[in-house]
Amino acid sequence: MLEKIDSLKAAIETLSAANKEEVEALRIKYLSKKGEISLLFNDFRTVPNEQKKEIGQKLNELKNLATEKINSLRETVEEKQSDSNNLDLTRTASPLRLGKRHPISLVREEIISIFSRLGFTIAEGPEVEDDWHVFSSLNFAADHPARDMQDTFFIQRNPDVLLRTHTSSVQSRVMTSTEPPIRIICPGRVYRNEAISARAHCFFHQVEALYIDKNVSFADLKQTLLYFAREMFGKDTEIRLRPSYFPFTEPSAEMDISCHICGGKGCAFCKHTGWVEILGCGMVDPNVLDACGIDSKKYSGYALGMGIERITNLKYRVKDLRMFSENDVRFLDEFEAVH
Ligand code: DAH
C-alpha cells in the first residue's frame, strides 16, 4: 500500500495537460469514485489497525496533492484558452497616454512657423546678459527708467551682469556678428523684477523679429504684420498701428488687432474698444545699426517684439498668468498634443 501511494505521488507531481478535456480525464483517472485514489481509500479498510494512522495520513496527503495539482492545471488551461478567444487582431492598439505640449510652446511654435514661411530663421541668445546688449546698444539713454533696479534683475554691478528684460538683446548680438541681409526671429524667456500677480510675472516669454537689408521700408513692416495677424488669428483679422515710442525704433508703433473674442464689436476683454494690443514694432533706429557696426546709410530694417503669454491669452483665454508656470496637469490637459 505504501509503495502504491509513493508511486502515485510521483506520477501526480509530473502531470501535465494541454486542454480542459485532458484535465477532466486526469480528474476521472485519479479522483472520481472509481479513480485510483478512491480505490486506495476502499482498500484502507483492510489495513491493519497499527498502520492505519500512518497510511491514513499519507492517503489524505496524496488526495490533497492530486486535487491541488488538477485544479492548478485547470486554471492554466482556462487562462490560455480565454486569452486566445479574446484575441482580436483587428482592434486598434490601446492608446498611449501622451503628454501635452505646454500652451506657451504651442504658441511659440506657431509664431515661428508663420515667420519661417516668410524666410525668417531662428536666432537665440543668452538669458544672462550684459548692459550693452540689453540697453546701451539699443539706444537706451543712460537714465532710461527701464534700467532701473525695479525692472531689471542685476546679478552683478560694474560691469553689469543682468537677466535680459527683453529678447531685443538678441538683435544686437546678431547684428554685431552678421552681415545684412538679416532676417531672424528670436524666441526666448525674459525677466523683470515685478510683483507676481494674475497679470504680471517675474519671467515671461517674448518673440522678436528683425529684418535688415537695403531699402526695407515701413510698408514691408506693415505687410508682415498683417500677414502675421491673419495667419495667427484668422483671415478676417484687421490690424491698426498706433504711434508709440521705443528707444531702439524710429518711428515706433504698437499694433492692435480687431478683438478676436467679440469680432470687433466690443467686449470686456477689449474693454469695449473692439481692439487689443499685441505687439510693439518700428523701423530700427539708425543709432542702433551704427552701434552694432551696420552702415545705417546703406541699410535699413524693421523690428517687432511680442509677448508669447499675451498671444496665448488671446488664443486660449488664460486669465491668470501664474497658471503658465504652476505646472498643474489639469491645466496642461486642456491643450491638444501636437506632434
Ligand atoms: N522690447 C520691447 C519690450 O520688451 C518690445 C519691442 C518693441 C520689440 C518694439 C521690438 C520693437 O523689436 O520694435 O517691450
Assess whether the C-beta atom of 275 lies below 6 angstroms from ligand 1: no
Assess whether the C-beta atom of 305 lies below 6 angstroms from ligand 1: yes
Q: Which three cell numbers stand for residue 232?
A: 495667427
Assess whether the C-beta atom of 259 lies below 6 angstroms from ligand 1: no
State residue 219's pLDDT score: 98
Cα-to-centroid distance, 16 and ligand 1 (Å): 79
State residue 339's pLDDT score: 40
Which residue of 191, 248, 252, 292 sits with most ligand 1 atoms within 8 Å of its CB, as the best mutation to test the pocket?
Answer: 248
Whose C-alpha lies nearest to ligand 1, atom 12?
A: 304
State residue 304's pLDDT score: 98
Assess whether the C-beta atom of 282 lies below 6 angstroms from ligand 1: yes
State residue 18's pLDDT score: 87
Cα-to-centroid distance, 288 and ligand 1 (Å): 13
Which residue type, as a one-letter code, is found at position 34? K
Contact by Cβ (8 Å): 251, 217: no
Assess whether the C-beta atom of 168 lies below 6 angstroms from ligand 1: yes
Contact by Cβ (8 Å): 40, 5: yes
Contact by Cβ (8 Å): 247, 141: yes
Phi, psi of 220 (to 5 degrees): -60, -40
Report the candidate in 45, 203, 207, 65 with the shortest Cα–Cα distance to residue 124.
207
Cα-to-centroid distance, 281 and ligand 1 (Å): 6
Cα-to-centroid distance, 335 and ligand 1 (Å): 28
pLDDT digits (tens, 9 = 90+) for 163-195: 999 999 999 999 999 999 999 999 999 999 999
Going along the chain, which residue ranges are E strands?
A: 121-122, 128-130, 154-156, 161-163, 182-191, 203-213, 239-246, 249-258, 275-284, 300-307
State residue 3's pLDDT score: 86
One digit per residue, the tens of pLDDT, for the chain of length 339 reads 888 888 888 988 888 888 888 989 989 999 888 888 888 888 888 888 888 888 889 889 989 988 999 999 898 888 877 766 777 888 888 877 777 889 999 999 999 999 999 999 999 999 999 999 999 999 999 888 878 777 899 999 989 999 999 999 999 999 999 999 999 999 999 999 999 999 999 999 999 999 999 999 999 999 999 999 999 999 999 999 999 999 999 999 999 999 978 888 899 889 999 999 999 999 999 999 999 999 999 999 999 999 999 999 988 888 899 999 998 888 888 886 544
DSSP 166: S
Task: Say if strands 275-284 and 300-307 run parallel, antiparallel, or are unpaired.
Answer: antiparallel
Burial class (CB in 10 A: 0-12, 13-18, 19+), 36: middle
Assess whether the C-beta atom of 208 lies below 6 angstroms from ligand 1: yes
Q: How far from 117 is each of 24, 181, 209, 227, 302, CA to CA, in Å?
A: 72, 17, 13, 10, 17
Assess whether the C-beta atom of 140 lies below 6 angstroms from ligand 1: no
Q: Extract the annotated binding site for Mg(2+).
A: 250
Report the candidate in 174, 204, 177, 201 with the shortest Cα–Cα distance to residue 188.
204
State residue 336's pLDDT score: 67
pLDDT digits (tens, 9 = 90+) for 287-299: 999 999 999 999 9
State residue 319's pLDDT score: 82
SS3 89: coil
State residue 333's pLDDT score: 84
Long-range contacts of 69-72 (CB under 8 A, 24+ apart): 69/12, 69/13, 69/15, 70/15, 70/23, 70/26, 70/27, 70/30, 70/31
